[in-house]
Amino acid sequence: MKDIPHIRGKFYIAKLIAEGEHETQDFKYAISDARKIARSISAFANNKGGRLLIGVKDSGAIAGVRNEEDIYVVEAAAQLYCRPAQELRFTAFTTEGGAVVIRAEIPQSATRPVQSQEPDGSWRAYYRVKDENIAAHPLMVRSWRQAISREGLTMMLSESEQAVLRYLRSVDSASVEQIMLAASLSRRTAEEMIVRLATIEVVEFVHVRDGFEIAVITNE
């Protein structure tokens, strides 16, 4: 099966499956839509990286890789439906009854955002939250792009920025609208401030309920 490492891994794969799907692991069995796979790749690459276990059902049952076409679809997702294209590392493991599970490792990207192509041809960045691929907040994407070139950015905080940080510490996390109201800022000013603070790694985006909010990064 392709020119990829192939080793015995019955107990190793069983151990991974026992972890369930989480922030750095996703089970994939029905490999038919490269764009859906690209979303997972984008989400992992924009977070801490992760792995796909190909040939494992959502329930954790091992079905095995159906044929080599599954691997080609995943490669197409990484190369054709991700921008920039992503390099994955594949390893085949022989499991119970001879079924083969492919581990596709997705490294954390050094140049975020990694976007995936939507069915309408547009591009969108995703972020892995627990066991879900969530569309990244627009300000997250802006901060990632700004982080590529941090020239001209200073760590010195303005009075307005310090006021926003004091507010965030008092409430744990807040939406852009709540920050605008609390600090009497226009949307444009609030968004530019949040992007800058995220770029210099003073605040981060946290997923709460049905969306992202902004929180101060702690050392805990």
Q: Where are the alpha helices (DSSP H) in 9-94?
A: 10-19, 34-46, 68-80
pLDDT of residue 4: 87
Rg of the chain on CA atoms, in Å = 20
Q: Which two tokens stand for residue 134?
A: 């969530």
pLDDT of residue 216: 98
∠ Cα 31 36 37 (to 5°): 60
pTM to 2 decimals?
A: 0.94
Dihedral sign (CA 18, 22, 24, 29)? positive
Mean pLDDT of the chain: 95
Virtual CA dihedral for 137, 116, 112, 203, nearest 10 degrees?
A: 10
pLDDT of residue 24: 99
DSSP 3: T
Residue found under tokens 């929180």: 215
CB distance 135 to 125 below 8 Å: yes
Virtual CA dihedral for 63, 64, 65, 66, nearest 10 degrees?
A: -60
pLDDT of residue 220: 62
pLDDT of residue 201: 94
pLDDT of residue 40: 98
Q: Kindly report, residue by residue over 103-120, the tens digit of the pLDDT.
A: 999 999 999 999 999 999
User: Alpha-carbon distance 87 to 78, whole Å?
Assistant: 7
Residue 155: how many other CB atoms lie within 10 Å: 7
pLDDT of residue 11: 96
pLDDT of residue 3: 77
**pLDDT < 50 positions in the chain:** none
pLDDT of residue 150: 73
Domains for the chain: give ranges and CATH numbers: 6-135 (3.30.950.30), 138-216 (1.10.10.10)
pLDDT of residue 1: 54
User: Alpha-carbon distance 189 to 33, whole Å?
Assistant: 40
